[in-house]
């Protein structure tokens, strides 16, 4: 897709396994890549060999590192890569999870076992495990942005606070890259002028009826793409959604 999408610019949607599709993309194609992959052990999308359903946490991290290695190959030298990912908790030995009326996507036919060295109910820092693994694989890790969700989904747990945030990591393939920080400046707290955008973004989640379980959050697409895109450049957005085979979720 060239530039920001609108009615006059083409939008090309490729539906398939990202692990296969991205290998067909030429080197140095995209100026900006944005993705939110399936989180480990959180959803069952009903596909064989789906990312996020690996029995071992290490295999999940490695799966993403390998996909993002291809992302780095297809990214232009001065491009940026934005990764939205959240943490998870160990399942405590449970092997399945029932759905509920408020969140049909909670139903799972499997639950990964507690990773070695961790305990039941432990918070698993999956987001940072993936980010650090990407850094070791060659990415420049430039920002950890907190996506604060004011309308986060309530949780029934009584022995910890409700999780109301995810991470948005900014990574690059080069030490120097294109980033127009002025494009996303925010109002100064004293009401006079503007200031550089901070690393906590308070943005409500937005439901989409045609997407099942997970949808890309369009309201933080602008603060991501505005500083990252030059005029007439290409960017790629990877969606994590379960849709009928061979169909676009926007039809």
Does residue 60 surpass a pLDDT of 80?
Answer: yes
Residue 63 — pLDDT band, cuts 50, 70, 90?
Answer: very high
Spatial CA neighbour of 136 closest among 36, 61, 27, 78: 61
CA 200, CA 228: separation in Å to the nearest integer?
Answer: 18
| Per-residue pLDDT tens over the stretch 192-231 | 899 999 999 998 887 655 544 344 556 667 788 888 887 6
Q: Supply the pLDDT for residue 1.
A: 43
Spatial CA neighbour of 103 closest among 154, 167, 53, 149: 154
Residue with tokens 């359903």: 53
Other Cβ atoms within 10 Å of 171 Cβ, number: 23
φ/ψ of 177, rounded to 5, equals: -155, 170
CA 112, CA 56: separation in Å to the nearest integer?
Answer: 7
Spatial CA neighbour of 13 closest among 211, 151, 232, 223: 211
Does residue 12 surpass a pLDDT of 80?
Answer: no
Helix axes 57-74, 126-136, angle to 10 degrees: 50
* Residue 243 or residue 150, greater confidence: 150
CA 79, CA 225: separation in Å to the nearest integer?
Answer: 11
Does residue 251 surpass a pLDDT of 60?
Answer: no
Instruction: Mean pLDDT check: name the lowest of 42-46, 75-79, 93-97, 202-206.
Output: 93-97
3 Cβ neighbours under 8 A, 6+ residues apart: 9, 229, 231, 232, 233
* Buried b or exposed e, range 188-202, using 16+ CB within 10 angstroms: eeeeeeeeebeeebe
């Amino acid at each position: 897709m060239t530039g920001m999408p609108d009615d006059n610019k083409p939008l090309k949607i490729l539906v398939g396994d990202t692990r296969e599709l991205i290998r067909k993309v030429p080197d140095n194609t995209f100026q900006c890549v944005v993705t939110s992959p399936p989180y480990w052990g959180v959803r069952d999308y009903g596909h064989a060999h789906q990312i996020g359903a690996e029995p071992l946490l290490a295999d999940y991290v490695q799966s993403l590192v390998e996909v993002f290695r291809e992302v780095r190959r297809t990214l232009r030298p001065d491009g940026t890569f934005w990764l939205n990912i959240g943490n998870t908790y160990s399942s405590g030995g449970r092997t399945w999870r029932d759905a509920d009326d408020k969140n049909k996507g909670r139903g799972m036919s499997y639950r990964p076992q507690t990773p070695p060295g961790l305990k039941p109910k432990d918070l698993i820092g999956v987001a940072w495990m993936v980010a650090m693994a990407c850094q070791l694989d060659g990415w420049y890790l430039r920002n950890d942005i907190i996506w604060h969700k004011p309308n986060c989904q309530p949780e029934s747990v009584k022995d910890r606070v409700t999780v109301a945030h995810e991470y948005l990591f900014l990574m690059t393939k080069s030490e120097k890259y294109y980033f127009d920080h002025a494009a996303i400046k925010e109002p100064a707290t004293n009401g006079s002028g503007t200031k550089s955008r901070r690393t906590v973004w308070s943005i409500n989640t937005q439901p989409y009826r045609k997407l099942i379980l997970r949808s890309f959050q369009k309201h933080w697409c602008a603060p991501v793409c505005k500083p990252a895109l030059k005029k007439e450049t290409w960017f790629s957005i990877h969606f994590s959604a379960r849709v009928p085979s061979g169909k676009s979720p926007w039809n």
